[in-house]
Amino acid sequence: MALIAPSLLAADFARLADEIAKVESGGATLLHLDVMDGHFVPNLTMGPPLVKSVRKVTKSIFDVHLMITDPDAYAAVFVDAGADMVSVHYEAARHLDRTLHLIQDRGAKAGVVLNPATPVWVLEDVLDVADYVLVMSVNPGFGGQKFIPNSLNKIRRLDSIRRERGLGFAIEIDGGVGPENVEAIVQAGCDWLVAGSSVFNSADPAQAVRSMQQTADSAVLARA
């Protein structure tokens, strides 16, 4: 099973409840929320109050992606605001092992994120702790960027490590995902595909989710 996770970053923030309802009518059950602090990445987005507000309008799973300089200090706040999953950047966390455990102890799934220039091998000693690994397929900070093809190699590497070591972490990808690359991403071994502009900038976001999900489902069948 591979899931398309719409990223709210590309949605109309003035009408978030409607935007969420649209993608859910296309079958989405996993929503990606991008938190940026203007320091770790050159952009600012949402904080805990917004997560708390949208939590009231949907039962979908909230996948919160922290692009902030001090994720160790803020991860728990986002779990309390309603996140079901919280991911922190390898490049930002000073005490990654502690932070992953802290997220889990607070009741959420804990993920670790890799920037495009960060190799997979740095995660060797946390792969048995993390519930998922998020591979950035663009440099974080903005939606609508071009997919970096080397991300597929990173997905393949993670998938083979997962098999070799018999580990259960999920693999997620984020950035530049659209109808043209869903099949290759799923074939590489990815479980969750974040899609922002390819969903919300399309004329029919529900249909965009539905059709990418169908492509993902067929690729999973072909993979098995």
Q: Which residues participate in catalysis according to the annotation?
A: 34, 174
Buried b or exposed e, range 96-123, using 16+ CB within 10 angstroms: beebbebbbebebbbbbbbbeebebeeb
Q: Per CB under 5 A, which region of 19-27, 77-85, 112-120, 167-175 contacts Zn ion?
A: 167-175
CB of 172 to ligand DX5, least distance (A): 10
Longest dimension (CA), the chain: 46
Under the criterion CB under 6 A, does residue 23 sit at the interface with ligand DX5?
Answer: no
219 lines the binding site for ligand DX5 (CB under 6 A): no
- The answer to whether the beta carbons of residues 24 and 60 sit under 8 Å apart is yes
**Least CB distance to Zn ion at residue 11 (A):** 13
87 vs 99, which CB is nearer to Zn ion? 87
Beta strand extents in 90-208 (DSSP E only): 109-114, 132-136, 170-174, 192-195
- Per-residue string for binding with ligand DX5, 96-115, x by CB under 6 A? --------------------
- The CA-to-CA distance between both ends of the chain, in Å, stands at 10
Cβ atoms of residues 27 and 210 within 8 Å: yes
Kind of pairing between the strands at 192-195 and 3-6? parallel
Binding positions for ligand DX5, 43-102, rule CB under 6 A: 65
Q: Indicate the burial class of 139 (C-beta count within 10 angstroms; 0-12, 13-18, 19 or more).
A: middle
Q: Is 65 in the site for Zn ion (CB under 5 A)?
A: yes
Q: Which of residues 113 and 120 has its CB atom nearest to ligand DX5 in the complex?
A: 113
Per rule CB under 6 A, is residue 176 in the interface with ligand DX5?
yes
* Minimum distance, C-beta of residue 114 to ligand DX5, in the bound complex (Å): 12
> Considering only 86-94, 120-128, 192-200, 214-222, which stretch makes contact with ligand DX5 by CB under 6 A?
192-200
Question: What CA–CA distance (Å, rounded) separates 124 from 164?
Answer: 12
Does residue number 172 form part of the binding site for Zn ion (CB under 5 A)? no
Question: Cα 43 vs. chain centroid, distance in angstroms?
Answer: 17
Rule CB under 6 A: choose which of 174, 189, 192, 215 binds ligand DX5.
Answer: 174
Sort 84 into a burial class: Cβ within 10 Å, 0-12 / 13-18 / 19+: middle
**Closest distance of CB 175 from Zn ion, Å:** 7
Residues that bind Zn ion (CB under 5 A): 34, 65, 174
Residues that bind ligand DX5 (CB under 6 A): 7, 9-10, 32, 34, 65, 138, 140-145, 174-177, 194-198
